[in-house]
Amino acid sequence: MRVELSKEFRFEAAHRLTGLPSSYKCSRLHGHSFRVAITVEGDVDPKLGWFIDYGEIKTAFQPLLDNYLDHFYLNEVEGLENPTAENIARWIWDKLKTRLLGLKRVSVFETCTTACHYEGR
């Protein structure tokens, strides 16, 4: 049996989008209550009855949350100089792709109605 598992995380952070006219509201410093969903995919081990423990997702992502994302100014994080939802999703993917078995998708919710879903290559 093949499954997808997701674990969600939340963080607060400030950012501004670069390269936009100064009249554009997102070019000004502002913050969001971000939500991130990390999705993995794989085959269920018939003996265990699961693919991986959700704790493995947390173990892989928590250092990124604690050291780079939660309550940080994202523009100052190396690789996130223009922290759009798209670039945040790709940055997370790049950090997790070798650390998390079966990484399938990274979803970044900037607001409760907007999200970017990234499935890296």
Instruction: Tally the domains of the chain.
Output: 1
Per the structure, the complete domain to which residue 64 belongs is given by: 2-118
Angle between helices 54-64 and 85-96 (to 10 degrees): 120
pLDDT of residue 88: 98
Q: What is the pLDDT of residues 22-62, one digit of tens each?
A: 889 989 999 999 999 999 999 999 999 999 999 999 999 99
Rounded-to-integer distance, Cα 51 and Cα 120, Å: 21
Catalytic residues: 26, 71, 110
Residue 121 reports pLDDT greater than 90: no
**pLDDT digit string, tens, across residues 63-73:** 999 999 999 99
Q: Across 1-121, where does the E strand assignment appear?
A: 2-15, 30-43, 72-73, 103-111, 114-118
Backbone phi, then psi, for 49, in 5-degree steps? 85, 15
Give the pair of three-digit tokens for residue 48: 């265990």
Which of 50, 32, 30, 35 has the alpha carbon at shortest distance from 108? 35
Domain CATH for 114: 3.30.479.10
